[in-house]
Amino acid sequence: MEVQSGNPPKLNAVEGQDENVEMSFFRPPVVRLGAGAALNRALFTKKVDLAAAAIQNPKVISQYRKSLQTSKEILKVERISPIVPHPDEELGAQGRKCILLNPSVKAEEPKTWGPVIQEGIQKEDLTVIPYELTLEYDYWTARDTMESVLPPELHDEIPSGFNVAGHVAHLNLRDSYLPYKKIVADIILDKNSSIRTVINKVDNVGAESEFRTFQYEVLAGEDDLNVSCTENNCNFTFNYAKVYWNSKLESEHTRIINFFEPGEVVCDVMAGIGPFALPAGKRRVFVWANDKNPESFKCLESNIQKNKVQDFVRPFCADGLDFIRQATDEVLAASLKGEKVVITKSGPRPKSKKAEQPTSSGFVPESLRPVIMETYPVPPTISHFVMNLPASAIEFVGSFKGIYQWQENLFAPNTKTLLPLVHVHCFSLKADDERPRIDICERLTKYLGFTMKPGNKDYNLNGEGEVTIHNVRDVAPAKSMYCATFRLPATIAFATRD
């Protein structure tokens, strides 16, 4: 074990101070615990010798604080208040305060005292005294602490961007960090008040399980993966070890949901526990939501009820290849049967005085307000297909062939209805050029049986066979997740089913 105090070099007077040097006073001590060692929090205590302006009259503290800020003599460091109790216990008990000064000001060197301090001394408003500031483990940030513990060669990719699911922090540590995994986990647990469990993935999601679940080890905290989290105004409760959830996809969930309009039908082919389906249901969007994982299906059913979207969201547990056609047929059948959702709610309070006469106070009880009824009939066609299984979703697009066989009359130009938009998530090369777009379109062409090509960024401007490709996020140094959005070609939609 190696511990270094990290003592900084001496500073010049205020006029020539070097801020970088000044901040070195507030860097943590270097604590190299070694691979496999336990985290010793006591080693992170550091004492910083400063000067302080001891204020005689509490009424002038605010005045001197502003003046010292202007003259840049006050201590300005994140998470440290410059106003502190007097270090003398008796004076501190009397409520006397001090203003901490920046490290270039020395209590024993009057030549380092600026004009504000000099004037305050002349007026007998203050005196300059030594002040020992103690910084303990709790002061340092998680990154500060990890840089202090980990070898310098590991500082470039310190594990700070972990996934969070409720109270669980999910790490995916590279091999070089594994010898320090317990220390890293303890620091994350200490520095994040909402985290109670830290786990590390020990296999490859997707490669080992078709349901995108993973094997894990608990590195710190309790072994409890039953979590609850909120996204897009919906609450999700699930066992993180049994279903797929990625908190980093919230913005992508929101982006896709914003495509949907009330009264439309969405087919969520790989719905998981419902991050697209439940918020859509709250927006009065009909969702046929499917997931092949029985555990995901159970959570989806439960969360539909919990979030009170059962009128709009219907859960299924089927293979996605079959579900695309199943949902298409069921939506049409539901529409032909006249299925609908009727929402009844009280209207606004009447504005006229005459209408307010039922009560002496002018308040109109809800029972006496006008009733507003909103009716949402199930339309005959699906407006959007969402396929969020990036490892293999593209391979499912062949199921779109013939989904609307003999149903041309349901779509433009016979009606105003357009063919569905398909949103397919996939992985491809991380690159700024056209290679990922070309690769994705070639794969779509292969499985769809129709030539697809990169299109405009605005899908509404694309013609048949053109694809809008959105870069969702980087998932590895050379790999990114994308979403390909295209309007289902008529040739495919109206083809003869296999």
Computed over its alpha carbons, how large is the radius of gyration of the chain? 32
Could you give the 3-state DSSP secondary structure of residue 120? helix
Annotated binding residue at 253? yes
Q: Judge whether 388 is annotated as a binding position.
A: yes
Residue 15 to residue 289: CA distance in whole angstroms: 66
221 marked as binding residue: no
Query: Is the Cα torsion angle 199, 204, 210, 215 positive or negative in sign?
Result: negative
- Say how many Å lie between the first and final Cα of the chain, rounded: 68
* Tokens encoding 200: 């590390």
- 10 Å Cβ neighbour count for 469? 23
Residue 313 burial (CB count, 10 A): 27
Angle, vertex CA 36, rays to CA 34 and CA 41, nearest 5: 70
In our burial notation (b when 16+ CB lie closer than 10 A, e otherwise), range 325-361 reads bbbbebbbebbeeeeeeeeeeeeeeeeeeeebeeeee
Q: Is the dihedral of CA 308, 310, 311, 312 positive or negative?
A: positive
- Give me 292's structure tokens: 């092949």
204 is in an annotated binding site: no
List residues forming the annotated binding site.
Answer: 253, 319-320, 388
Q: Which residues participate in the annotated binding site for S-adenosyl-L-methionine?
A: 253, 319-320, 388
